[in-house]
Structure 1
Amino acid sequence: MAGVPRSRRTGRAAVNCLRALLERHDHIVQEVDGQNDFGEDLYVTFTDGGQTTGDVVKVQVKGGKSWRRSYGYGVPVAQHSETWANGNVPVICVVYDPDDEELYWANATVQLLQARRERVALKTIRVPSEALLNDASLPDFVSRVRHYVGRYRGNRALLTELGEMAGVEFGTADLVLHFINVHGEDLIFWQRRGEDFATLLHSDLDWDPQRITPDMLRFSGGLTARYELDELPEWMRAFANVPTVGDVILDDDEATWLAACFSASRWARDPDYN
């Protein structure tokens, strides 16, 4: 007769515990058949006031003592890195500890995208011991996850993609403009309403935020303005007619785009308007 591994009992206890918690609060849980499990055990559709919402997440559930780590728990990424980070539906990791019969959670998609920005190959999703998931904490969990899911809806989807690329989060009222230069590098112009400056995010500068203002944009002579022409160091003479914004060297197309961005966002810097 075929034996039943003890790990199956713990795994089922983990799934059942999470399912029971979510269903007690009227959320809809669809379990993925074991033969079709490629890194996600459940699909969860959140409800609000007894009505279904369009907010759906995938959940990877782990159960057992083997997932314990010094910081809490760890879920191996294994071969799921691309699908958990790039899928249309965010992935949440949940760990069930059989000793205290508690659930703990982490947003795997957030951690993987953060690691990608830092150019790190993440091997494990860190699930902190403070991230308890129970009846008391479930409303906060649902609110946070639904907020994250909502970032991928409608017009917010593009801003979310740009923000994840640059490692920032744009506000709903922010003016965000995107440009790809001839070298395939990404530039993002970011203007918050009421601020007298904008922020330039440039992939070639490792997304280091550059605070910029319209008067800093020069179509020529920006780097050499402090020198008389005959005093220019030899190495700087090639930059005499190069566009700049602050200390950032631009090409003509980038400078023209930035000028248009400053013009289009003038109202957002106007204190009388805001």
Structure 2
Amino acid sequence: MPKVPESRRIARMAVNEVRALLERHHHIVQEIDGGNDHGEDLHVTFVRNEQRTEDSLAIQVKGGVSTRTRRGHRIPVGDHGSNWRDGSLPVLCVVHDPERGGLFWANATRQLRRARALRKTPKSIVVAPDFVLNDANIDAFVDGMRRYLIREREGVGRWADMAGVEFAPEDIVKPFENEYAEPMVFWQRRGESFAVLLHHDLDWDPVPIQERMLRFEPIPLIGNVILNTAEAHWLMGCFKSTEWWRRPIEQPDPA
């Protein structure tokens, strides 16, 4: 009789656990046939109030002890790096380890984008032990991922990942690309007196900026950051168009 490898049983158990969790909460899960599995096991579309949403992502599932580390798990990137980082759907990695508590997840797309910003090529995706996925937190997980996917559709999610920051739903985020195809982002939070500049040449490290810091002569500058003329005019437009969002937030009358 042909022998069924133990690794197959473990892999199937892992996929089934992830699928069962999502489907218990009414989300749409499409399993990718093993012959077409090139780094993703599941395609997931989230459902809200019994209505299919426009929010979808892919999941790579791993099971067993081979991914364990002392502090969590690591999933090898292999030759999937560019697809997980730049594909049309964000990719999550989920580990099934019942001895350590069940399912654990990581955003592979976000980790790989951040690594690229830091000029690194990671060999594995880090799955932290506190990123647990279960029935108790599935709704919060879905809400967070749907916010993430909204920013993806807006075209600014990549820059949040590169900088390792989180854009709130009410934040104003204005991307710009100069003539050398170098991207940068103007980021304004509600009620804050300053904005934040995320810049390709600054390794995406967030830089607080204010309009009074902007200079055009003798060379365009914002603080110590050298700009070209187009970038300076773009920043001026950003400041002028978001002035109302920097005004102090009125506190409700306690009476």
Assess if the C-alpha contact under 8 Å between 1:117 and 1:167 holds in 2. no
Residue in structure 2 matched with residue 261 of structure 1 by the alignment: 238
Identical amino acids, percent of aligned pairs? 51
State the Cα distance separating 1:38 from its structure 2 match.
Answer: 0.6
State the Cα distance separating 1:76 from its structure 2 match.
Answer: 0.9
Assess if the C-alpha contact under 8 Å between 1:43 and 1:57 holds in 2. yes
Instruction: Confirm or deny that 1:192 pairs with 2:189.
Output: yes
Q: Give the TM-score of the pair, scaled to structure 2.
A: 0.83
State the Cα distance separating 1:81 from its structure 2 match.
Answer: 0.9
Q: Secondary structure at the match of 1:4?
A: coil
Per-residue CA distance 1:212-268 (angstroms, 9 max, x = gap): 333332322xxxxxxxxxxxxxxxxxxxx3233322333333333333333333333
Q: Secondary structure at the match of 2:156?
A: helix
Assess if the C-alpha contact under 8 Å between 1:166 and 1:203 holds in 2. no
**Residue type of the partner of 1:34?**
G
Instruction: Confirm or deny that 1:213 pairs with 2:210.
Output: yes
State the Cα distance separating 1:99 from its structure 2 match.
Answer: 4.3
1:108-187 aligned at under 5 Å gives the runs 108-153=108-153, 157-187=154-184
1:73-92 aligned at under 5 Å gives the runs 73-92=73-92
My pick for the range that moved more, 56-65 or 181-190, is 181-190
**Residue type of the partner of 1:123?**
K
Q: Secondary structure at the match of 1:147?
A: helix
Residue in structure 2 matched with residue 54 of structure 1 by the alignment: 54
CA distance in 1, matches of 2:22, 2:220: 57
Assess if the C-alpha contact under 8 Å between 1:42 and 1:58 holds in 2. yes
Residue in structure 2 matched with residue 10 of structure 1 by the alignment: 10
1:217-232 aligned at under 5 Å gives the runs 217-220=214-217
CA distance in 1, matches of 2:169, 2:147: 12
CA distance in 2, matches of 1:47, 1:174: 25
My pick for the range that moved more, 157-166 or 32-41, is 157-166
Pick closer, same or farther for the CA change 1:248–1:16 going to 2, 3 Å: closer
Structure 2 portions without partners, runs of 5+? none
Assess if the C-alpha contact under 8 Å between 2:104 and 2:133 holds in 1. yes
Per-residue CA distance 1:1-37 (angstroms, 9 max, x = gap): 5432221111112222222232233222221111111
Assess if the C-alpha contact under 8 Å between 2:156 and 2:175 holds in 1. no
**Residue type of the partner of 1:49?**
N
Assess if the C-alpha contact under 8 Å between 1:267 and 1:273 holds in 2. no
Q: Secondary structure at the match of 2:147?
A: helix
Q: Secondary structure at the match of 1:68?
A: coil
Assess if the C-alpha contact under 8 Å between 1:41 and 1:60 holds in 2. yes
Q: Give the TM-score of the pair, scaled to structure 1.
A: 0.78
Pick closer, same or farther for the CA change 1:13–1:193 going to 2, 3 Å: closer
Aligned-residue Cα RMSD (Å) equals: 2.7
Question: How many residue pairs end up in the alignment?
Answer: 251
Assess if the C-alpha contact under 8 Å between 1:217 and 1:243 holds in 2. yes
Instruction: Confirm or deny that 1:103 pairs with 2:80.
Output: no
Larger Rg: 1
Residue in structure 2 matched with residue 45 of structure 1 by the alignment: 45
CA distance in 1, matches of 2:236, 2:99: 61
CA distance in 2, matches of 1:174, 1:75: 33
Residue in structure 2 matched with residue 226 of structure 1 by the alignment: none
